Chains A and B, each alone.
Chain A
Amino acid sequence: MNAVTEPLLNVQALTMNFGGLRALDQVSLQVQPGEVVALIGPNGAGKTTFFNCVTGIYRPSGGDVFVTPPGKKRRRLNGLKTHQVTASGLARTFQNIRLFQEMTVLENVMIGRHCRTRAGVLGAVLRDPQTRREERDIVERSYAILEKIGLAGEVNELAKNLPYGDQRRLEIARAMATEPFLLLLDEPAAGMNPRETDALEVLIRRICDEEKIAVLMIEHDMRIVMSISNRIYVLDYGKGIAAGTAAEIWENPVVIKAYLGEETEE
């Protein structure tokens, strides 16, 4: 990585306390432009908490979250509301799929355009040319995203009727509609069959290479983590225990200990 470029996401010493429980302890993490970064760790290590802190669902107890959108100035995200974080260019998906079940696939993606459009109540009622143009733009862009994701055949299907793998992809499509520069994927491959995982891997690579959206993902499926991530961060008990490329992490004794445990004298 070019050392001169500012990281897209720069998290410094992020700490999160839930009462007496320290869920995150001085975690630092950077995502550079064009990177796919994976965040791994055993269950309960604090990965999703980390996401929630970055995206403003939780207010971190300490530390800083900085983002530097391409071509823009550095900005501190701490204390911003979730929708403001999204508007600043960070979009996420959820571990347990959170689609708008009763809305169609297209509408789900159209919601993603909300923070990039302006039409208000008056525009909606009067349906003036500007609002109509904006509405058409929303539909067209959303459809284009669905085409890229490979869900264009299901535009009018209710989200709840999609098969599991497609629901996961729809969540990604919805997040992409917010025009992010960084996509946070929370276990995108969870519950997918190997075939779907392969397709997902291709999709993530394409998002990163063609759409120029960097990706930070939490994932348990080591196969996909090892094959597509440029760098990997490992969390355990809320602490960052290792960081590096796939090969480095693979060999790291601390990581192996965290995952497999340690031999004891018994």
Chain B
Amino acid sequence: MPAIVQIRQSLIIALWFMFLTFPVLVIRVNTIENIIEWRWVNMLYVGAGSFLGSFAWRYFLVRQARGARRDKPPVRTARQSELTAGTGKEGMTAPSDRPGELRATAATGSAQRGGVAIPEGEIGSLAPDDVHKATVASAPPAKPSLRRLTDDPKLRRPLLLILAAAGTIFPFLPFASTYQINIVTNALLYVMLGLGLNIVVGLAGLLHLGYVAFYAVGAYSYALLYHHFGIGFWTALPLGALLATLFGIVLGFPVLRLRGDYLAIVTLGFAEITRLVLENWNEFSFGPSGIAGIPRPSLFGWEMDLHGATIYIYFLMIFLCLLTIFVVNRLQNSRIGRAWVALREDETACEAMGVNPTAAKLTAFALGSTWAGLAGVVFAAKTTFVNPASFTFLESAMILSIVVLGGMGSILGVIIGAFVLILTPEYLRAFSEYRMLLFGLIMVMMMIFRPQGIVSGVRRIYEFHRGSEKQR
């Protein structure tokens, strides 16, 4: 029944479009022969196109609404609430022996299955397995298929192996030209930037619009250190990261008291200041002409041709990305990472729970900047040339899009987001006239139909067995 309503609505819309575009697309006055051409076929195209478009639009909206309904807790039945209330009651009737019993369950935990510690008698009709399912299934709402793929331990290992193998042999495949390897390396660079920004935006919830400034700091660190002191890539890598971190802290201090929109504006301003300084302070940064002739990274003094160097940087980026993933993953499941997420969720409550918001924000800023600094150094080495034009606001927006599109707070999401957003425009070069249009369209569609990103961040699940917890 709703389908018919949808079709009717779409038909009405199609008719409207046909009517509205009638003067433009159907009638054409031929001024030379003074006749009017009627192009009825165009009307048909408009009608069919708008009908299909509208129908698809409606279909996705309905699907989304249904999905949202699924996101709601899977009917936490009255019985389950009763259970918890019941435990409260149980404690009320025998408050004195409650602590003793608690200690006992913590030690032996006989009744603890799937994080449920309800005295056996209370469960009664509800089998422990059901409770287990109820609690676990509801934690990641409406598991997307991608999640299911990565979560399944049986599939996970082969999948990782295939990915690793593909990553390793990719540069040696016949179709992998220098260009191909280059764009993939570029995508990896954005993976790193995205993961770094993910700390600030995705985890700590600080809308940072000037991330590119730290990228620039990293790139210029290497460029200038090489230019003035002849410092090589491997020394510049940690130095660039360190300088970017310091910059993050310096920027962090004034913006710490700001929230939301105000923070976004200040960071945006900071990035512009950085770019303008680089552009105009000729003595320091050589202005818009930039710094050229930055050496590529060396491998124990071994000289490589362009293709070899490209492959080398590719593997270097793979390594750095793995390092980033490792560190960010550990951070987000740590005391600090939890504090960031809490800060994102509710700053007032977070502070009232004893988290120092200043310290938390500062670490988020500093650590986020570190990755930008590292990526910046690699960027300078890869292109062998830096100038301020590479560090415009558009870059910040791009990195932010990667984080938002990929899924805030999700490592996998950010990685996929970076590959999609960086590689799509490259491979769409064939349709270069429409590629920005397509790109924009994809972004709009994503934000309407899947605002949580490609992969939404999932909270860690803790299982309790025999008193000691097992983490997954």
On whether the beta carbons of B355 and A83 are closer than 8 Å, the reply is: yes
Interface membership of chain A positions 165-183, coded 1 if the CB is closer than 8 angstroms to chain B and 0 otherwise: 1100000001101100000
Can you give 13 A-B contacts (C-beta < 8 A)?
A86-B352, A102-B457, A104-B460, A104-B461, A111-B350, A124-B336, A135-B335, A148-B102, A150-B85, A161-B73, A163-B76, A166-B81, A210-B99
A75 in contact (CB, < 8 A): no
CB of A6 closer than 8 Å to a CB of B:
no
Please tell me the number of chain A residues within 8 Å of chain B, measured between CB atoms. 72
B457 to chain A: which residues have CB within 8 Å? 102
Name A121's contact: one of B357, B367, B469 (CB within 8 Å).
B367
Binary interface encoding of chain B residues 448-472 relative to chain A, with 1 for a CB under 8 A from any of its CBs, else 0? 0000000001011110100011010
Chain B, residues 93-109, CB within 8 Å of chain A (1/0): the string is 00100110010011000
Stretch at the interface among B114-122, B228-236, B314-322: B114-122
Structural contact, B353 and A114, CB atoms closer than 8 A: yes
In the assembled complex, the CB of A36 is this many whole angstroms from the nearest CB of chain B, namely 15
By Cβ-Cβ distance, the 3 closest A-B pairs, closest first, are: A115-B354, A124-B334, A199-B88
Q: What's the least CB distance linking B362 to chain A, in Å?
A: 11
On chain A, the residues within 8 Å of B98 by CB distance are: 148, 206, 210
Check A202/B135 contact, CB under 8 A, given A119-B335, A124-B334, A124-B337: no
Chain B interface (Cβ within 8 Å of chain A)?
72-73, 76, 80-81, 83-85, 87-89, 91-92, 95, 98-99, 102, 105-106, 112, 115-118, 131, 135-136, 138-139, 141, 327, 330-331, 334-339, 341-342, 345-346, 348-357, 363, 367, 457, 459-462, 464, 468-469, 471
Select B131's contact among A107, A120, A153, A196, beta carbons within 8 Å. Answer: A153
Contact A150 B84 (CB under 8 A): yes
Within 8 A of B (CB), among A52-89: 55, 57, 81-83, 86-87
Q: Is the CB of A103 within 8 A of B85?
A: no
Give B291 Cβ to nearest chain A Cβ, in Å. Answer: 32
Interface of A is mostly: helix
Expressed in whole angstroms, the Cα–Cα distance for A161 and B74 within the complex equals 9
The answer for the CA separation of A127 and B329 in the assembled complex, in Å, is: 12
A114 touches B102 (CB 8 A): no
Contacts across chains A and B counted by CB atoms under 8 Å:
206
CB-CB under 8 A from A101, the residues of chain B are 345-346
Shortest C-beta distance, A206 to chain B (Å), equals 6
Q: Contact check: which of B345, B349, B367, B464 meets A102 at CB < 8 Å? A: B345
Let me know if A206 and B139 touch, CB within 8 A: no
A-side contacts of B348, CB under 8 Å: 57, 82, 94, 98
Give me 4 other A-B pairs in contact (C-beta within 8 A), A102-B457, A148-B98 excluded.
A104-B139, A113-B335, A156-B135, A210-B99
Which residues of A lie under 8 Å from residue B88 when comparing CB positions?
150, 199, 202-203
| Residue in chain A with minimal CB distance to B349 | A98
A152 on interface, CB distance cutoff 8 Å:
yes
- The answer to whether A143 and B469 touch (CB under 8 A), given A98-B349, A210-B95, is yes
Question: What residues on B are CB-neighbors of A178 within 8 Å?
Answer: 353-354
A163 / chain B contacts, CB cutoff of 8 Å:
76, 81
Separation of A47 and B118 alpha carbons in the complex (Å): 37
Which listed residue, B84, B87, B138, B334, touches A161 by the CB 8 Å rule? Answer: B138
User: What chain A residues lie within 8 Å of B349 (beta carbons)?
Assistant: 94, 98-100
Q: Per a CB cutoff under 8 Å, which of B116, B354, B357, B469 touches A140?
A: B469
Which residues of chain A are near B81, meaning CB under 8 Å? Answer: 163, 165-166
CB < 8 Å neighbour of B95 from A154, A177, A206: A206
Q: Looking at B112, B331, B334, B353, which has the most chain A CB atoms within 10 Å of its CB? A: B353
Give the residues in chain B near A55, CB-CB below 8 Å.
Answer: 352
A164→B353 CA distance, assembly (Å): 20
Q: How far is the CA of A196 from the CA of B92 in the complex (A)?
A: 12
Nearest Cβ in chain A — how far from B304, in angstroms?
A: 32
Q: Are A150 and B469 in contact (CB under 8 A)?
A: no
Nearest-CB residue, chain B, relative to A146: B117
Contact A99 to B335, CB < 8 A, known contacts A83-B355, A206-B98: no
Q: Could you tell me if B334 and A119 are in contact, using CB atoms closer than 8 angstroms?
A: yes
- B363: chain A residues at CB < 8 Å are 121
Q: Among A115, A135, A156, A195, which residue has its beta carbon within 8 angstroms of that of B85?
A: A195
Could you tell me the distance between the alpha carbons of A114 and B363 in the complex, rounded to whole angstroms? 15
Contact between chains at B117 and A152 (CB < 8 Å): yes
Asked if A202 and B459 make an inter-chain contact with CB atoms under 8 angstroms apart, the answer reads: no
Q: Is A111 touching B135 in the complex (CB atoms < 8 A)?
A: no
B-chain residues with CB within 8 Å of residue A135 when the two chains form the complex: 334-335
A158 touches B83 (CB 8 A): no
Q: Does A241 contact B (CB under 8 A)?
A: no
Task: Evaluate contact between B346 and A81: CB separation under 8 angstroms.
Answer: no
* Least distance between B363 CB and chain A CB atoms (Å): 6
Separation of A136 and B335 alpha carbons in the complex (Å): 11
Kindly identify which residue among A114, A131, A148, A195 contacts B338, using a CB–CB cutoff of 8 Å.
A114
